[in-house]
């Protein structure tokens, strides 16, 4: 599949053009281009080893690129200084918090590192850890530690927030609470770059998404447009005396009515399935 052309200006958020990263002869990222506008939530999706993490680390300034142009909040991450980093928030896959301090002590310590940090207790409450504020981090469950990671990522009131698999270890209730927190940050104008393997999470939180595979960006667009119209054509499934059937159609209501008329009544196992973001994504990365 060819890469979707990228159009539009940088918007002052994130601008990536022809990003290339190689380790010797091994190419991790090749020709990736996209924009993230200020205030937008953008999901970067892809299987493990696709080049997703390498791209994110370059944007965060943790890894140098081999080629291409990158601007994040108007600066090149490869040369940007401490003031630029103070404008970013990061929730990484692996945690670096100290286990011997309490939740509140750790969040308060991070708050002092930023010029306009959030209220410590309000941040702890927002991630659902008020009851554990005085508990040492080493005594928390995996999901609770992940909430600490999120608190540390947002305490500095970042202009741009990187969320790398943020809800790993969350139970369903905690995930929904987290989603509300992220929606609140978005309402405040925070620009968010999300990576997640939970496609429903991307659909819930993101304005647009890019799909990366084999080091290349294979599609980009609004969540309800990824994959194109053909990938979102509904599927009608039913069973009759000849066995099981499946038909893709852009007019499922008319098609089902015709089936009923031909059968003279109800059909067993009749269902209309509208492809989800996960269905579309799997089709893209398998192509």
**How does pLDDT run across 103-154, given as a tens digit for each residue?**
999 999 999 988 889 999 999 988 889 999 999 999 998 778 888 988 999 9
Distance CA(279)–CA(273), nearest Å, equals: 11
Distance CA(97)–CA(106), nearest Å, equals: 8
Per-residue confidence at 7, pLDDT binned at 50, 70, 90? very low
Per-residue confidence at 173, pLDDT binned at 50, 70, 90? confident
CA distances from 281 to 170, 196, 200, 212, 224 (A): 23, 12, 11, 10, 12
What's the confidence (pLDDT) of residue 96? 59
pLDDT digits (tens, 9 = 90+) for 149-160: 889 999 999 999
Distance CA(39)–CA(281), nearest Å, equals: 24
Give me the mean pLDDT over the 55-83 stretch.
Answer: 94
Residue 281: name the closest of 3, 56, 44, 52 by CA.
Answer: 44
pLDDT digits (tens, 9 = 90+) for 75-104: 999 999 988 988 999 988 766 556 789 999
Residue 244: enclosing H or E segment and its boundaries?
strand 243-248
* Residues forming a β-bridge with 20: 30, 67
Residue 166: name the closest of 123, 131, 196 by CA.
Answer: 196
More confident residue, 43 or 273: 43
Cβ-Cβ contacts under 8 Å for 71 (sequence gap 6 or more): 10, 14, 15
SS3 of 141, please?
coil
SS3 of 146, please?
helix
Helices (H) and strands (E) in the chain, counts: 10, 12
Give me the mean pLDDT over the 238-258 stretch.
Answer: 88
Give me the mean pLDDT over the 28-35 stretch.
Answer: 96
What is the pTM (predicted TM-score) of this model? 0.81
Distance CA(220)–CA(140), nearest Å, equals: 38
Residue spans of the domains in the chain: they are 229-286
What's the confidence (pLDDT) of residue 111? 94
Cα 172 to chain centroid distance, Å, stands at 17
């Amino acid at each position: 599949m060819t890469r979707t052309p990228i159009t539009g200006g940088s918007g002052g958020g994130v601008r990536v053009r022809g990003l290339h990263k190689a380790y010797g002869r091994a190419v991790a990222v090749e020709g990736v281009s996209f924009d993230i506008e200020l205030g937008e939530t953008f999901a970067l999706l892809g299987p493990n080893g696709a080049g997703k993490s390498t791209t994110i680390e370059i944007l965060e300034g943790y890894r140098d690129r081999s080629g291409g142009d990158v601007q994040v909040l108007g600066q090149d991450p490869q040369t940007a200084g401490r003031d630029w980093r103070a404008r970013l928030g990061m929730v990484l896959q692996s945690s670096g918090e100290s286990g011997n301090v309490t939740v509140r002590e750790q969040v308060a310590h991070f708050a002092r590192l930023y010029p306009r940090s959030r209220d410590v207790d309000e941040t702890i409450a927002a991630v659902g850890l008020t009851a554990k504020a005085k508990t040492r981090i080493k005594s928390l469950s995996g999901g609770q530690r992940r909430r600490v990671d999120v608190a540390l990522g947002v305490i500095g009131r970042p202009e741009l927030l990187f969320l790398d698999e943020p809800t790993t270890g969350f139970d369903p209730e905690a995930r929904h609470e987290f989603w509300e927190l992220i929606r609140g940050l978005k309402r405040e104008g925070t620009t968010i770059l999300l990576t997640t393997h939970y496609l429903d999470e991307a659909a819930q939180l993101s304005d647009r998404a890019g799909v990366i595979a084999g080091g290349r960006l294979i599609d980009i667009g609004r969540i309800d447009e990824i994959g194109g119209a053909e990938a979102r054509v509904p599927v009608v499934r039913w069973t009759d005396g000849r066995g099981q059937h499946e038909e893709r159609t852009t007019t499922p209501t008319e098609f089902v009515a015709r089936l009923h008329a031909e059968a003279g009544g109800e059909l067993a196992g009749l269902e209309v399935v509208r492809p989800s973001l996960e269905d579309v994504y799997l089709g893209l990365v398998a192509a």
